[in-house]
Chain A
Amino acid sequence: MASNFYRILSSKRNVGILSLVGAGSITGAVLLRREHVTASAHVRRTYPASAEYPDLRQHNNCMASHLTPAIYAKLCDKSTPNGYTLDQAIQTGVDNPGHPFIKTVGMVAGDEETYEVFADLLDPIIRERHNGYDCRTMTHPTDLDSSKLHSGRFDERYVLSSRVRTGRSIRGLSLPPACTRAERREVERVTVDALAGLSGDLAGKYYSLTQMTDAEQQQLIDDHFLFDKPVSPLLTCAGMARDWPDARGIWHNNEKTFLVWINEEDHTRVISMEKGGNMKRVFDRFCRGLKEVERMIQEKGWEFMWNEKLGYILTCPSNLGTGLRAGVHVNLPRLSKDPRFSKILDNLRLQKRGTGGVDTAAVGSTFDISNLDRLGQSEVQLVQTVVDGVNYLIECEKKLEKGQDIKVPAPPKGN
């Protein structure tokens, strides 16, 4: 069944990846080093940069804040080795001016090299979005040793469910904004292959969006697992919905506690979840599952996109680093009405969302509470932050129940 799929990138300009996968052969994959990436040749240009510079006067997103005419002029005729251009990367931010209260990122990566070739624009965006993280000088810690997590069991009178998600990209294949149909199908093949090797509590099944039966679809909807074609213009304007539903699908284990989305906004989104407050078990399974999947793809000569400056490479710059969002659905009827609620969350480095996820409203007083940060701290650190923070919120709620007063915690040092 091995495909004849292979990719050779030109080594002439020291691009640094040689990825050859044939019938069961092992790759000699070379880690990409920043200084070896060279922009590729000619991009069609009939007009000078000043005539092409987008009108961003009504815009409120990170791209619009940092894309000066000078940076545009410097980068507009460059492209990554695969041919992804600046105009493609910023299109979503040009088409979606944003909202005065909500600052979106406003650009995406089409491949791993985007972060290199367009670093003059992406580095300041990353700095703004990730709390001053300077990828030129700092390194990002990766730590998936879940045994280090402590106090990870919540009071289930308050916490209804616990969940940890992240994304992973397959090195050597373009990202959803830019991938060709063949690449997307290869992402699916590589991932499904790896997931088929999982066993024990992780054993499961793949449901391709193109071949799902009506019964399977209904079950996945009932389980709240099914993802649909993106409608958000933030995603569609970046080209991520092309060729839908070709090569998209959902994998989950038989116990329905470990779930992988394939080819939605990232190559893969990996989710561990369960009802109740046992975040420790959720995180254990998360780390174990991720490591297993990584081992499986490495056996076939593939690896995840990762480097020590940016951590795990994903489509949206906001998800760099850990790509991790650890959260709970928690009932906080009194605390959520307290005027100090937002400030408490801020100082705990947490954010609230409605129970439908990003950009939804809370139902009753049940909130989705998760970590704000993604880059610059490890997975263990971020999940610990959520654990400590949610425990604090529950303590506040209990105090308010007894008519006692609560304290706004001090912000973390350095903030």
Chain B
Amino acid sequence: MPFGNTHNNFKLNFKVEDEFPDLSKHNNHMAKVLTKEIYGKLRDKQTPSGYTLDDVIQTGVDNPGHPFIMTVGCVAGDEESYEVFKDLLDPIISDRHGGYKPTDKHATDLNFENLKGGDDLDPNYVLSSRVRTGRSIKGYTLPPHNSRGERRAIEKLSVEALTSLDGEFKGRYYPLKSMTDAEQDQLINDHFLFDKPVSPLLTCAGMARDWPDGRGIWHNDAKSFLVWVNEEDHLRVIAMEQGGNMREVFRRFCVGLKRIEEIFKKHNHGFMWNEHLGYVLTCPSNLGTGLRGGVHVKLPKLSTHAKFDEILGRLRLQKRGTGGVDTASVGGVFDISNADRLGSSEVAQVQLVVDGVKLMVEMEKKLEKGEAVDSMIPAQK
């Protein structure tokens, strides 16, 4: 229930032209797609939980974006948003996910055995490996829209599910609002703690409401499997470790996710998923697998090569700084991960990371020896 938009019926007294947002300075997917016609067609609609078009687009109206970086500019408030507002969201999904059509089907593959290799990335270059995704719990509305009661129910159900895990997944939950100082320091040192969102992309969508109520972090005793509860999505699931054994990280990721999903299903609250959009998450950019598999890798020479960005593009990879999205790289160390989310499976996306990083490390080694790497530049994947 974000601000000012729940009284949708009252708003219909005003004409479309009077309510249509001024998007003349905007550069985001929503602004490129939303016309007065689409606005007029969708503005009197609501999802069953009462989420409206203006709710969907508020973050994109408030954040005009940057000429070089194209954000999505809209969010879903619940599973049904993707259906009720498909006239707006389908073209946005197509733009963001490489032409994905409303009739396309998304393949889910969480069988880690289907991954080839991935256990031999050179740890002299690959400092750490990580796979994350998000999951939404069916029957609840999403972070932009949910009420305190819902958020608390999501937390309660998630904690129940997670604390029943055993073996390598045995662990503990730390609610944000009752964390001790010692626990907080430890979580910061482990790079686990997430903070109240400050990005206006998130705050304008209402995702920081009531902070820190209902939010927390769960991790296993080995500190290799971590779940964020009620940040940008219901659950963010992360498997990580130092070094280059992406294969092991992916195994743990898949096994852990399946165990968690079983428990939620037993409680009649499986994950939001459908065969068109895959896993349904708050941001349309995370649909499909919601998966970002990546490494922190030292590429001081390759990263300054004229064709670095082109190589990444061909490998279907993206670079980020070591602080994550919208940060700069430090000391030639980059966060390299898959660029795609929707239209290919988890195994396929992690395979691209594994193969692509392996190739780039080889290229880095060649450059160290003063050799050229032009012959190694790959074809478009």
Contacts and interface: CB of A to CB of B under 8 A. Distances in A.
Interface stretch (A81-89, A138-146, A393-401): A81-89
Interface in A27-43: none
A181 interface: yes
Contacts of A239: 2-4
A180 B4 contact: yes
B199 to A, nearest CB: 13
Contacts of A54: 148, 210, 213
Contact of A182 (B6, B19, B62, B148): B19
Contacts of B58: 242
B242 to A, nearest CB: 36
Contacts of B3: 88, 91, 177-178, 238-239, 242
B227 interface: no
B interface majority secondary structure: loop
A4 interface: yes
Given A91-B209, A95-B210, A46 B147 contact: yes
Interface string A73-99: 000000101111101100100110000
Interface string A43-66: 010111001111100100000000
Contacts of B213: 54-55, 94
A236 B4 CA distance: 12
A94 B9 CA distance: 27
A103 interface: no
Interface string B201-232: 00110001111010000000000000000000
Contacts of B21: 181, 243, 246
Contacts of A193: none
How many residues of B sit at the interface, in one of the four size bands? 35 or more
Contacts of B38: none
A244 B62 contact: yes
Given A7-B13, A243-B21, A82 B208 contact: no
B62 A243 contact: yes
A252 B204 CA distance: 31
Interface string B1-33: 111101111110111001111100000000000
A205 B370 CA distance: 67
B4 A110 contact: yes
Contact of B19 (A88, A180, A236): A180
Interface string A179-192: 11111011000000
A174 B11 CA distance: 11
Contacts of A178: 3-4, 7
Contacts of A183: 14
Interface string A230-246: 00000011110111101
B312 to A, nearest CB: 35
B150 A82 contact: no
A304 interface: no
A408 to B, nearest CB: 43
B67 interface: no
Nearest to A185: B18
B163 interface: no
Contacts of A83: 6-10
B1 A44 contact: yes
A183 B9 CA distance: 14
B4 to A, nearest CB: 5
Contacts of B251: none
Contact of A242 (B4, B10, B49): B4
Interface string A241-255: 111101000000000
A386 to B, nearest CB: 35
Contacts of A52: 147-149
Interface in B140-172: 147-150, 152-153
Given A88-B6, A177-B4, 8 more contacts: A4-B15, A53-B148, A82-B10, A88-B1, A174-B4, A182-B15, A242-B3, A242-B61
